[in-house]
């Protein structure tokens, strides 16, 4: 196959054809054409290698982050539910948001706060959430972690809390780390978010430096 391609490459270019054209191919030496072909193939091969490497780097980063989260979760799971809830409350998380992210009811949270028994599964989920806020706040220097969890992504009514509650925990980490842009995160979470959350309003930064809302013009 390569020989046939090279034969086509070095074959003289005919200026005659069945389709009229105003393009006249320049004449060039066989050596020049071969060198150009080889350079093009090298560039194509390099682009492929970079794409594969980028995918490997992204997957390795995600796996490393997951492993770190698991270690932190194991550490946090040593604490009782009341202490874990206290840590989240100290960060400013509302009980309703904690309940949503754990997939339980607010009354269940209230029972744990009174010292009533918590299942092993829910204790593990609670430890995971605390470990996640540990990891995100420290590694990515995100201040006011509760506020970050409640901040809409790219202006859409979707927050990291919503994504976590939906079970897409890795997506929250990838968004926090910057691996994914806000739009990429939304695309993965809900491919139809643009039409679903289309709004007649937009945010803008005024001359006074304050972000405000105005109707789209």
For 12-25, how does the pLDDT look when each residue is reduced to its tens digit (9 = 90+)?
444 444 555 566 65
Q: What is the pLDDT of residue 22?
A: 62
The count of domains in the chain is 1
At residue 84, does pLDDT exceed 90?
A: yes
Q: What is the pLDDT of residue 28?
A: 61
15, part of any domain: no
DSSP state string for 83-152 = HHHHHHHHHT--HHHHHHHHT--HHHHHHHHTT----HHHHHHHHHHHHHHHHHHHHS--SSHHHHHTSP
175, part of any domain: yes
At residue 62, does pLDDT exceed 80?
A: no
What range defines the domain where residue 85 resides?
60-215
pTM: 0.66
pLDDT tens across 106-137, in order?
999 999 999 999 999 999 999 999 999 999 99
174, part of any domain: yes
The phi and psi torsions of 204 (rounded to 5 degrees) equal: -150, 155
């Amino acid at each position: 196959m390569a020989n046939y391609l090279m034969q086509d490459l070095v074959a003289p270019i005919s200026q005659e054809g069945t389709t009229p054209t105003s393009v006249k191919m320049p004449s060039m030496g066989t050596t020049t054409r071969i060198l150009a072909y080889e350079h093009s193939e090298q560039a194509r091969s390099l682009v492929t290698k970079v794409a594969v490497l980028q995918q490997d780097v992204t997957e390795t980063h995600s796996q490393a982050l997951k492993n770190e989260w698991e270690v932190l979760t194991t550490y946090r799971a040593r604490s009782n539910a009341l202490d874990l809830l206290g840590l989240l409350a100290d960060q400013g998380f509302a009980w309703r948001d904690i309940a949503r992210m754990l997939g339980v009811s607010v009354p269940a949270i209230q029972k744990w706060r009174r010292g009533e028994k918590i299942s092993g599964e829910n204790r593990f989920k609670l430890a995971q959430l605390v470990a996640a806020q540990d990891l995100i706040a420290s590694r990515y220097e995100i201040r006011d972690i509760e506020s970050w969890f409640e901040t809409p992504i790219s202006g859409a009514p979707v927050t990291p809390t919503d994504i976590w509650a939906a079970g897409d925990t890795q997506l929250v980490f990838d968004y926090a780390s910057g691996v994914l842009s806000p739009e990429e995160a939304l695309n993965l979470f809900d491919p139809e978010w643009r039409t679903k959350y289309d709004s007649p309003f937009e945010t803008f930064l005024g001359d006074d430096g304050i972000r405000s809302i105005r109707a789209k013009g």
